[in-house]
Amino acid sequence: MSKVLVTGGAGFLGSHLCVALRADGHEPVAIDDLSNGRRENLEDGIALHVADLSNSKWISELSGDSFDAVIHCSAQSSNAQSFRDPEADLRANQLATLRVLEYCQQNKIRRLIFTSSMSVYGDPPVIPTPSSEIPRPMTYYAAHKAASETYIQLWRDLDWTIFRLYTTYGYGQNLLNLNQGLVKIFLGFVLRGEPVQVHGSGDRLRDIVHVSDVVRAIMMSLHNASSFRGTYNLGSGHPLRVSEIINRIIECAGKPRDYPVVYQAADRGDPHRTHADVSAARSDFGWEPAVMPLDGIAMTVRRHMTADGSAS
């Protein structure tokens, strides 16, 4: 058993990771500022430290704990929001990552897993996009994620793994947050009975990956030396048009086919295509996606509808 610090542990991905870690016999500890995460996302008995990671105060507060690994999931993950407040994005992403690295160094923690983003590629010229593709950030969020990757790669005495997550979805996302998470934004509109508001055209291609596949990749790599100092894409490898994603949500929610969908101007820095080449993760530690997008959307819609009483 190992003791693992999960940053952003009360958020969507972080809370799923805490569940998986505990089920596998590890002791997860969450740290989160609760700006988007929620205490109720965590199972009973999982410790939560409430702190702003960009403020170094938490480093001394956790100095007495002994962790075997850190999984750094905490982030401000909206490209659009990063343009509205670049300084806040820098603190939440770049500066927070620097603090995590300082914590690892001061407490002699060698193992770090970092969840980066496919946004670092910008609008990539190579499709499907391999993890060897040169980053070309088009948003402050992407630039801060790319800079955080560089910090990690330059840090000494650290066994790091970087996962570039494609659009991650599943049960447990905050449906009221309209700034991030394409699938759950559309789902939130439908479950509230509101017209679906879409920024950009419906023919854009999006590679979406179910949270269970992301969690499984992280768990497989946690103590696997084959993944150390590796950078990997996590996507389904089966992109859908945005219109297909919306239509699938509408269908699975039992809404009429002519449910209102309103297309608006695209957000700045929004790529036309995302499509992950996941061959590096497959070859290095045997991971590949198990949940295909159309199935995963159906699972997610059913779970949300059951949870809020919209379905029996």
Residue 169 annotated to the active site: no
Token output for 60: 């001394």
Q: Residue 309 and residue 312: Cα distance in Å, rounded? A: 7
Note whether 152 and 158 are within 8 A (CB).
Answer: yes
DSSP annotation of 306 reads: H
Catalytic residue among 121, 141, 169, 171: 141
Measured distance CA(206)–CA(214) in Å, rounded: 16
Q: What torsion do the CA atoms of 182, 87, 153, 99 make, to the nearest 10 degrees?
A: -110
Residues 306 and 36: their CA atoms lie apart, in Å, by 22
What is the CA angle 53-55-58, rounded to 5? Answer: 70
The residue type at 96? A
Other beta carbons less than 10 A from residue 101's beta carbon: 22
Nearest alpha-carbon partner for 269 in 31, 56, 79: 79
**Alpha-carbon 54 to chain mean position:** 19
**What's the 3-state SS for 196-219?**
EEEECCCCCEECEEEHHHHHHHHH
Distance CA 293, CA 290 (A): 10
Q: Which residues are catalytic?
A: 141
